[in-house]
């Protein structure tokens, strides 16, 4: 992996190198016919079944896309799927890469920035997360209203101002509307992004709860920042796949995360299928 430069790691960021890598990926996506999508979706661990709802779907393995980082984490299929949902052209990222795999913040968000260059208007980020409320048993779905970035990294380039809360209130309302229409319970809360790959200790969960966080995971925050900086409007959903350390009855493991994500698949897919046309209408 080529380090683009990572503000959190003390390495000077080469803006030109980052932009060139995004343009290389964008050109490759165009060559594969990935254009014209209005909505992009990034699917987290165990949540990849949504691609079965995409009509006229065409899958492109990441390995065939020049400049597309590839994950080694179970539950991330490593395919880009293009097609239609509810009459809306979409591009679906079936799996993502993570900082804890050794990728830089700019590599983690390269695809998101490329989607922006391809003209995508709305970005929907999803993840599997640990829950910090006993009242939200797995697999609860939670719309992210704000986040806390404790990853020690930023995807923003020099001169790129942060936008404050990157999660769009109007798109959030569209998700709420879709949840009511599809009869899928959808909570609201704050997501905290940590570096990983280790799960949090009970003491850390008490600390994060004091911050006002409701769910914790190892992705999403950099993508949300980069997506907003790339000119897209951003919405996000966490699937609570386990109660966080100190709240769960046993030790945490990734296999459980993937399995519970699959258990939530029907409701999760129903929600996204109902949401896509509503999101597209909001960014018309």
3-state SS, residue 99: helix
100 catalytic per annotation: yes
Exactly one of 14, 32, 57, 100 is catalytic; which is it? 100
242 catalytic per annotation: yes
Exactly one of 142, 178, 218, 232 is catalytic; which is it? 218
219 catalytic per annotation: yes
128 catalytic per annotation: yes
Exactly one of 40, 128, 142, 244 is catalytic; which is it? 128
Exactly one of 17, 27, 254, 273 is catalytic; which is it? 254
Pair of tokens at residue 16? 């030109």
Exactly one of 37, 40, 45, 106 is catalytic; which is it? 45
45 catalytic per annotation: yes
- Closest-CA residue to 118 (of 192, 32, 5): 32
Q: What is the chain's length?
A: 284
76 catalytic per annotation: yes
Contact indicator for 9, 99 with CB cutoff of 8 Å: no
Alpha helices in the chain (DSSP H): 15-31, 105-108, 110-117, 169-182, 202-210, 221-229, 254-263, 265-282
- Closest-CA residue to 234 (of 147, 129, 118): 147
Exactly one of 127, 219, 238, 265 is catalytic; which is it? 219
Exactly one of 21, 37, 40, 76 is catalytic; which is it? 76
- Cis status of the peptide bond prior to 139, with omega within 30 of 0: yes
Exactly one of 127, 242, 265, 280 is catalytic; which is it? 242
CB atoms within 10 A of CB 19: 15
- Closest-CA residue to 110 (of 40, 20, 44, 232): 20
Question: Could you give the residue numbers annotated as active site?
Answer: 45, 76, 98, 100-101, 128, 218-219, 242, 254
């Amino acid at each position: 992996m080529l380090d683009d430069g990572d503000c959190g790691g003390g390495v000077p960021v080469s803006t030109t190198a980052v932009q060139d890598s995004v343009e290389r990926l964008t050109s490759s996506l165009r060559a594969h016919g990935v254009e014209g999508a209005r909505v992009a979706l990034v699917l987290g661990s165990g949540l990849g079944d949504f691609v079965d709802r995409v009509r006229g779907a065409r899958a492109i393995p990441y390995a065939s896309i020049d400049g597309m980082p590839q994950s080694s984490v179970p539950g991330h299929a490593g395919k880009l799927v293009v097609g239609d949902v509810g009459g809306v052209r979409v591009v679906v990222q079936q799996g993502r890469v993570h900082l804890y795999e050794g990728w830089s913040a700019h590599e983690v968000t390269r695809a998101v920035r490329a989607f922006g260059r391809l003209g995508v208007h709305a970005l929907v980020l999803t993840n599997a997360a640990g829950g910090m409320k006993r009242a939200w048993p797995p697999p609860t779905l939670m719309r992210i209203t704000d986040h806390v970035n404790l990853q020690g990294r930023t995807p923003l380039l020099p001169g790129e101002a942060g936008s404050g809360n990157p999660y769009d209130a109007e798109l959030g309302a569209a998700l709420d509307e879709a949840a009511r229409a599809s009869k899928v319970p959808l909570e609201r809360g704050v997501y905290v992004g940590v570096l990983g790959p280790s799960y949090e200790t009970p003491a850390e969960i008490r600390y994060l709860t004091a911050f006002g966080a409701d769910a914790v995971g190892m992705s999403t925050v950099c993508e949300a920042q980069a997506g907003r900086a790339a000119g897209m409007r951003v919405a996000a959903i966490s699937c609570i796949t386990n109660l966080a350390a100190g709240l769960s009855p046993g030790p945490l493991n990734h296999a459980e995360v993937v399995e519970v994500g699959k258990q939530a698949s029907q409701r999760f897919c129903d929600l996204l299928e109902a949401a896509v046309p509503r999101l597209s209408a909001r960014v018309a």
